[in-house]
Amino acid sequence: MTDVTNPNDFENLRGTERTDIKGWGIDADPENDPTYPMKERTNEEHKGYTWERPAQQQEEQEILRSVERPNLTAVFGTSTPPSGLSGIIRRMAFKYSESSYGRWLPLMLADRIGVVEGIVQDLAHGKIPNIIAERGWQAEWKYNRKAVLKKAAAAAIITTAAIAILMPRKKKKLRLF
Amino acid sequence: MLAMNFRGPFRVRPDYNKPYPEIKHPNDVIVRVTRTCICGSDLHLYHGLVPDTRVGQTFGHEFTGIVEETGPSVEKVKTGDHILVPFNIACGTCVFCKQGLYGNCHESNPEATALGGIFGYSHTAGGYDGGQAEYARVPYADVSPTIIPDWMDIDDAVMLTDVVPTGYQAAEMGGIQKGDTVFIFGAGPIGIMAAKCSWLFGAGRVVVIDELDYRLEFAQKYAQCEVQNFRSLGDPVVFAKKTTDSLGPDVCIDAVGSEASGNISETLLGRKLLLQGGSTTALHWAINSVKKGGIVSIVGVYGPIDSLVPIGNVVNKGITIRANQASVKRLLPRLIEHIRTGVLNPKEMITHRLPLEEIAEGYHMFSKKLDNIIKPVLIPPHARA
């Protein structure tokens, strides 16, 4: 399908005041500053990193820090510190700047390895991950049952066909006489 | 305590043994969560698109809660206060916070300088556990967290933590002038709210474009705007030109971000192979649709690596691009007033209220767009009594 147009296709569909809409125009700002979103410019950054910093949160676990800043921020999250093979990869990734693929692609790899590590950790703690529950497939059954049944039927047909094709067939006995 | 636990792409579970959060900084508080949402941007994490999303983390950057414990320097809130917690973690003292850029705080995310700290949004956003839990740690309690007014419904309050300010700022960044035509790509909660708020700035015509009819119907009703399904529209850019006498809309808003559909190569590169920071289809349409000298406002979330965009057209058309994470604290006073006067009714966007224990079903429903879902809210057990 092409996108060819005719001159008659063009029209100027513009709206006007919408007094039927509660609050129409109440925040209109004819002087909306083109430098927005910096609404309250102070140029304080000209002085550099000199502001009075908030109290520093204690580093009680390993926190990876961007090479683009000199210190840890005053507060930081303490969820899931780096560990295992994924942690080794994350530490390597953080040696690169935020503008480098050397940082982000290894982090994606580490995330995928972390998934496997998570399953191993579950098993080590005697927990078998309930993948069906974790993927929320109960909701699929509840709200999209027809599609689930269709997929199940299609899978059954394909499986049956595959088994039928791949199963070794009995060789016919050769008749010698 | 009970908390959402990320196990990998498309896998989350309720964890009943997550340790109770601790005060880690003098200005921290611990809140007992009363409402927490799943955000469209949580789906980027859920789908495995955001680097440094670690197994075991708890997501959730939209939540309200009752203060249970306070750090020694906290003055603004006290135990028992019911607060709404803006999604961005802001110190209030760095040069960026002081200039109203509370979404760009320099003292809340050691792991990336491009992004301020965000609750439950991977280690790229600071490594904080989020609010999809019974309890959550809230740093800088004297800065952004706000006591919920007595008259306000909690469901309205939780929508003020992200959806309303992000939608409002999308329209505000558009620099909409009276009579302007505004095209919004994406009919998720943010796109719908951006449409609603565009009227407040005096838009003359608001058009929302998406591929899901149920969402478009909701947008049309809720935001009183025009809607178009790009699946039946052909090229949305040509449609935009046809209905603006070939000139283009005055303002275009990208409210989709990295998971845009509508272009096979973008989907392949950005969503399947992860070779760019997401699919930029919506941004393409916004840039190519908007008038010469117009404004493109971006609130859709993209990954940190490079993304293909038609930058030549940005130059040739003299487009201004405005983009940012919403500065929730800056916008809250105005938005609370809009809710008080009935100009905005954000809780009407909530279509599903689920127990926190059903977190996996909630994510799956939202991801697959089941049961005409627009906005899901999770309610922890103690808040259901």
| Helix, strand or coil, per DSSP, at residue B255 | coil
Q: Do residues B137 and B180 both lie within one domain?
A: no
The predicted pLDDT at position B123 comes to: 97
Query: What's the pTM?
Result: 0.93
Distance, CA of A44 to CA of B142 (rounded, Å)? 22
Q: B176 and A28: CB-CB below 8 Å?
A: yes
Q: Do residues B198 and B249 both lie within one domain?
A: yes
Burial of B267 (0-12, 13-18, 19+ CB in 10 A): middle
| Domain harbouring B109, CATH code | 3.90.180.10
Q: Do residues B290 and B340 both lie within one domain?
A: no
The predicted pLDDT at position B257 comes to: 87
Residue A5 Cα distances to A2, A13, B285, B290, B360, angstroms: 9, 17, 18, 18, 47
Here the contacts of A94-98 (C-beta below 8 Å, separation 24 or greater) are A94/A64, A94/A65, A94/A66, A94/A67, A94/B111, A95/A67, A96/A67, A97/A66, A97/A67, A97/A68, A98/A66, A98/A68, A98/B112, A98/B113, A98/B114, A98/B304
DSSP at A25:
T
B219 and B191 in contact (C-beta within 8 Å)?
yes
Q: Do residues B65 and B50 both lie within one domain?
A: yes
| Helix, strand or coil, per DSSP, at residue B1 | coil
Distance, CA of A30 to CA of A60 (rounded, Å)? 51
Structural domain harbouring B255: 164-323
Where do the domains of chain A lie? 63-129, 130-165
**C-alpha angle A55/A65/B91, rounded to 5°?**
35
pLDDT at A33 over 70: no
Measured N-to-C along each axis, helices B328-340 and B163-173 cross at an angle, to the nearest 10 degrees, of: 100
User: SS3 breakdown of chain B: % helix, strand, coil, rounded to 5?
Assistant: 30, 20, 45
Instruction: Determine contact: B55 vs chain A, CB below 8 A.
Output: yes
Residue B140 Cα distances to A28, A75, A77, B147, B244, angstroms: 32, 8, 12, 14, 47
CB interface of B with A, residues 82-141, below 8 Å: 89, 91, 93-96, 98-101, 106-114, 117, 123-124, 126-129, 139-140
Distance, CA of B189 to CA of B182 (rounded, Å)? 17
ipTM beyond cut 0.85: yes
pLDDT at A39 over 70: no
Q: Do residues B43 and B140 both lie within one domain?
A: yes
Question: Domain boundary residue among B277, B302, B323?
Answer: B323
Q: B127 and A3: CB-CB below 8 Å?
A: no
Provide the pLDDT confidence category of residue A38 given band limits of 50, 70 and 90. Answer: low
Select the residue of B11, B98, B177 nearest A42 (Cβ to Cβ): B98
Order the strands of the B251-254 sheet from edge to edge: B226-229, B205-210, B181-185, B251-254, B295-298, B320-323
A85 and A116 in contact (C-beta within 8 Å)?
no
Q: Taking Cα atoms as reference points, which of B93, B62, B94, B66 lies closest to residue B82?
A: B66
Q: How far is CA A121 from the centre of its chain?
A: 23
Distance, CA of A32 to CA of B339 (rounded, Å)? 23
Question: Domain boundary residue among B287, B302, B323?
Answer: B323
The predicted pLDDT at position A177 comes to: 59
Nearest CA in chain A to B339: A23
Residue that wins the pLDDT comparison between B149 and A172: B149
Q: Taking Cα atoms as reference points, which of B4, B13, B30, B12 lies closest to residue B138?
A: B30
The predicted pLDDT at position B78 comes to: 97
Q: B89 and A26: CB-CB below 8 Å?
A: no
Residues of A in contact with B351 (CB under 8 A): none
Q: How many CA atoms lie within 13 A of B120 on its CB side?
A: 32
Q: Do residues B8 and B148 both lie within one domain?
A: yes
Q: Do residues B311 and B191 both lie within one domain?
A: yes
CB interface of B with A, residues 144-173, below 8 Å: 169, 172-173
Provide the pLDDT confidence category of residue A171 given band limits of 50, 70 and 90. Answer: low
Question: Domain boundary residue among B308, B323, B338?
Answer: B323
| Domain harbouring B243, CATH code | 3.40.50.720
Q: A129 and B114: CB-CB below 8 Å?
A: no
The predicted pLDDT at position A173 comes to: 63
- Residue B226's H or E segment, with its range, is strand B226-229
Residue that is written with structure tokens 């050397």 in the block:
A102
Cα distance from B55 to chain A (closest Cα, Å)?
A: 6
Q: A15 and B320: CB-CB below 8 Å?
A: no
Residues of A in contact with B322 (CB under 8 A): 36-37
Residues of B in contact with A98 (CB under 8 A): 112-114, 304
Nearest CA in chain A to B141: A75
Total domain count, chain B: 2
- pLDDT per residue of chain B (385 residues) written in tens, 0 to 9: 999 999 999 999 999 999 999 999 999 999 999 999 999 999 999 999 999 999 999 999 999 999 999 999 999 999 999 999 999 999 999 999 999 999 999 999 999 999 999 999 999 999 999 999 999 999 999 999 999 999 999 999 999 999 999 999 999 999 999 999 999 999 999 999 999 999 999 999 999 999 999 999 999 999 999 999 999 998 999 999 999 999 999 999 999 988 888 888 888 888 888 888 888 999 999 999 999 999 999 999 998 888 889 999 999 999 999 999 999 999 999 999 999 999 999 999 999 999 999 999 999 999 999 999 999 999 999 998 7
Q: Do residues B265 and B350 both lie within one domain?
A: no
